[in-house]
Each structure stands twice: as structure tokens, then as C-alpha cells.
Amino acid sequence: AIFFVFLLYKALQAKRKKITVGTFIGEPAKTIDRITPNKLGYVRFKGEYWKATSDTIIEPDTKVIVLDKEESVLKVKPDKND
């Protein structure tokens, strides 16, 4: 009985969890690698490492803004407020 109560508790937790789709766009991140139009690099976004691409050259340790997300790759641009 305890197992089924625990299972029900976890199922209700999963159902209440907020959907995070679409929360990437407009969010800040920071580059780890040099990113160019021809070469993917990595950015640190919300404590996680993500592959990223850009239309411009972005140097490491630069603040960027997420423009889009395609599967597991973020499209970023330099943050002009930096």
C-alpha cells in the first residue's frame, strides 16, 4: 500500500510540473567556446551546457541572448547590453 501511495504522489508531482517549452527565447546565457557561423560552440544556460550556433562570431566568456532552439542546439546573438 505504501508503494502505491508513493507512486500516486510521484504521478501527481509530474502532472503539476510546469511546462518549460518556449522559455528559452530571450533568456541570457554565457559562451564557453568561440562560436562562428560555421562552427558550433557551447554556452552555459541556466546552469547547463548547451550547443549553440550564431550568425556572427562570438568570443568565449561573452553574454548572449537565446534567439531560438532547434532540438538540442540554441541559436544565440551577443547581448548588446553587456
pLDDT digits (tens, 9 = 90+) for 18-70: 555 557 888 999 999 999 999 999 999 988 899 999 999 999 999 999 998 88
Selection from 67, 22, 5, 12 nearest residue 52 by Cα: 67
Predicted pLDDT at 11: 85
Predicted pLDDT at 20: 56
pTM of the predicted structure, to 2 decimals: 0.68
Selection from 17, 22, 36, 16 nearest residue 76 by Cα: 36
Residue 12 pLDDT exceeds 80: yes
Higher pLDDT, 15 or 12: 12
Selection from 24, 41, 19, 22 nearest residue 32 by Cα: 41
Strands 73-78 and 28-31 come out as unpaired
Give whole-number Cα distances, 38 to 5, 23, 44, 52, in Å. 52, 26, 20, 11
